[in-house]
Structure 1
Amino acid sequence: MYGPGSEDGECVEMATAPGTVHVRDSKDRRGPVLHSPAAGRTASVSSCAAKR
């Protein structure tokens, strides 16, 4: 999944696994990856969406 800013180069990739969500900068595939519990994903995404 890519973020909505993919046209201007500002995007992230998200992947889900059982119980975990993985997020990284799509331009830096070897860079750091954020791993978070799936239960916290909804709150994080909602918070980010509210700030747009």
Structure 2
Amino acid sequence: MDWINLLIGTLLILLGIFLIKLYQDLKKENKAGGLSFKMQTAGIGCIIIGIGLIIREF
């Protein structure tokens, strides 16, 4: 078991959650999508990659 991959996976999941929360806050303030929608997509991608790294270690 490689602890570095587990740590990177956990950090990617946390980063993804942070990006999605940030997107939700921007959407409430500006009522517009555009560039901030890409932040949500990046957040979802980070979560998926993080889960993939963690699953691969087990």
Same fold by TM-score, threshold 0.5 exceeded? no
TM-score (norm 1): 0.34
Q: Which has the larger radius of gyration?
A: 2
TM-score (norm 2): 0.31
Normalized per residue, the structure richer in strand is: 1
| Larger RCO of the pair (alpha carbons < 8 Å, separation 6+) | 2
Normalized per residue, the structure richer in helix is: 2
